């Protein structure tokens, strides 16, 4: 009986992964460049020396790890298509990780639901085909969460070092990764109530890993110095709108411009998914289960508040894509909401409604993705 259940669960997860693979491979070869991808291709297909020189002299918004890794993939396989495949791989790995995290902290029903949601989520599909650092950032964020949970379950020096190394890798992938590392250690300190020797060693190791990047940042041209960046989020209305817009795009993925040009029925997914998110967040804080609360507080709300607060002084940080690493944890709350529905038929119907409401978004994406300028209509 137990073996049969395990086999059935693995079969369901395998089916989810195969569908997710198909959705991320479709139109991958034909896809035109999205936001900053042309610039990225120029760096990746050039020399390593040029990458280093560019990051030393020019205004770059991200640390160089993803670009260097993409360059190595390009040199190894000789085609930029394989750099796209790396983003696809990170996207698929993220689905497995959100399944494991949700299973560890809630239950198997919520875990399967979370995997399905991330597999079909339009925004995650967009980024799984995008060759900038965001698919890798999402994947690494989930790795950091998972390794933090393992450390809290078994506090050993080995697990502490793993958390520090993953934290270092994520910060060298994108600067917002620092918010993820802070969230991880805050959760550890919250659970432990004190700084143990192992926690202290892990924190010191993280600081040592970050030092070279800090030195580079101190001598690097500020990414916030251009007039465009300074004006990107000016005004209280724009600031509030951009904050709310994060939740809309997590649930839908396309811009309101495209909605106004096509059909307002495309807003259905944004409404339904956000209602499920609110319901799931309510259930997380209503129940006495501690882990879902910790995941929500430390790995969604605190990093999101961090992005918002930094945006008050560094105006351009509220670019939507700088918050996209939080997408799986947003869907985590949605999965909790659906899993708490006692009627199995209603549970399936709600999940089906969300997936069906995403289908027109994906259809539009696949239709326009081979056309130059497609990215102005989706949430990149």
pLDDT (tens place) for every residue of the chain, 380 residues total:
455 556 888 899 999 999 999 999 999 999 999 888 998 999 999 999 988 888 777 655 678 899 999 999 999 999 999 999 999 999 999 999 999 999 999 999 999 999 999 999 999 999 999 999 999 999 999 999 999 999 999 999 999 999 999 999 999 999 899 999 999 999 999 998 888 888 889 989 998 998 888 777 776 655 555 544 444 455 566 777 778 889 999 999 988 888 888 888 889 999 999 999 999 999 999 987 899 999 999 999 999 999 888 777 665 555 678 899 999 999 999 999 999 999 999 999 999 999 999 999 999 999 999 998 888 888 76
Give the SS3 label for residue 223: coil
Tokens of residue 321, six digits: 């894509």
Q: What is the dihedral of CA 243, 245, 247, 251, to 10 degrees?
A: -170
Cα–Cα distance between 301 and 321 in angstroms, integer? Answer: 16
So what's the pLDDT on residue 321?
83
Cα–Cα distance between 111 and 102 in angstroms, integer? Answer: 5
So what's the pLDDT on residue 45?
94
Give the SS3 label for residue 59: coil
So what's the pLDDT on residue 1?
42
Cα–Cα distance between 179 and 65 in angstroms, integer? Answer: 17
So what's the pLDDT on residue 244?
86
Report whether 80 contacts 74 (CB < 8 A).
yes
Element (H, E) at 114: helix 108-120
Which residues are within 8 A (CB) of 295 and not within 5 positions of it... i.e. 6 or more apart? 101, 105, 145, 329, 332
Q: How many residues make up the chain in this entry? A: 380
Which residues are within 8 A (CB) of 304 and not within 5 positions of it... i.e. 6 or more apart? 246, 323, 326
So what's the pLDDT on residue 192?
85
Please name every residue paired with 378 in a beta bridge, in sequence order, or none if there are none.
254
Backbone angles phi, psi at 63, to 5 degrees: -65, 165
Measured in whole angstroms, how far is the alpha carbon of residue 100 from the centre of its chain? 16
So what's the pLDDT on residue 299?
98
Which residues are within 8 A (CB) of 113 and not within 5 positions of it... i.e. 6 or more apart? 102, 334, 335, 338, 339, 351
So what's the pLDDT on residue 315?
53
Q: What is the pTM of this model?
A: 0.93
So what's the pLDDT on residue 376?
84
So what's the pLDDT on residue 58?
62
């Amino acid at each position: 009986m137990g073996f049969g259940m395990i086999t059935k669960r693995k079969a369901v997860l395998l089916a989810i992964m195969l569908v997710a693979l198909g959705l991320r491979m479709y139109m991958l070869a034909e896809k035109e460049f999205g936001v900053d991808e042309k610039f990225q291709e120029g760096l990746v297909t050039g020399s390593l020396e040029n990458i280093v020189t560019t990051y030393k002299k020019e205004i770059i918004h991200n640390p160089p790890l993803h670009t260097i890794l993409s360059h190595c993939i390009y040199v190894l396989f000789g085609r930029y298509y394989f750099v796209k495949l790396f983003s696809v791989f990170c996207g698929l790995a993220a689905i497995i990780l959100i399944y494991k995290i949700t299973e560890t902290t809630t239950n198997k029903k919520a875990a399967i639901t979370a995997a399905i949601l991330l597999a079909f989520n339009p925004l995650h599909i967009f980024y799984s085909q995008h060759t900038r650092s965001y698919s890798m950032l999402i994947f690494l964020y989930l790795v950091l969460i998972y390794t933090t949970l393992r450390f809290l379950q078994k506090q050993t020096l080995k697990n502490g070092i793993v958390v520090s190394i993953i934290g270092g890798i994520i910060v060298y992938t994108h600067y917002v990764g620092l918010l993820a590392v802070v969230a991880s250690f805050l959760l550890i300190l919250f659970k432990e109530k004190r700084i143990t020797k192992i926690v202290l060693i892990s924190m010191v190791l993280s600081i040592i890993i970050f030092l070279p990047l800090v030195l580079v940042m101190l001598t690097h041209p500020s990414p916030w110095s251009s007039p465009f960046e300074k004006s990107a989020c000016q005004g209280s209305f724009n600031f509030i709108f951009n904050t709310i817009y994060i939740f809309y795009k997590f649930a839908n993925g396309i811009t309101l411009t495209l909605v106004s040009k096509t059909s307002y029925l495309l807003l259905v997914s944004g409404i339904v998914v956000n209602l499920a998110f609110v319901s799931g967040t309510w259930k997380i804080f209503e129940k006495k289960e501690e882990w879902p609360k910790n995941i929500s507080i430390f790995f969604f709300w605190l990093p999101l508040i961090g992005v918002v607060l930094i945006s008050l002084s560094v105006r351009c940080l509220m670019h939507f894509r700088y918050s996209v690493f939080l997408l799986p944890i947003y869907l985590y709350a949605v999965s909790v909401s659906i899993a708490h529905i006692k009627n199995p038929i209603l549970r399936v119907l709600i999940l089906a409604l969300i997936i069906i409401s995403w289908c027109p978004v994906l259809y539009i994406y696949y239709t326009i993705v081979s056309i130059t300028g497609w990215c102005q209509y989706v949430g990149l």
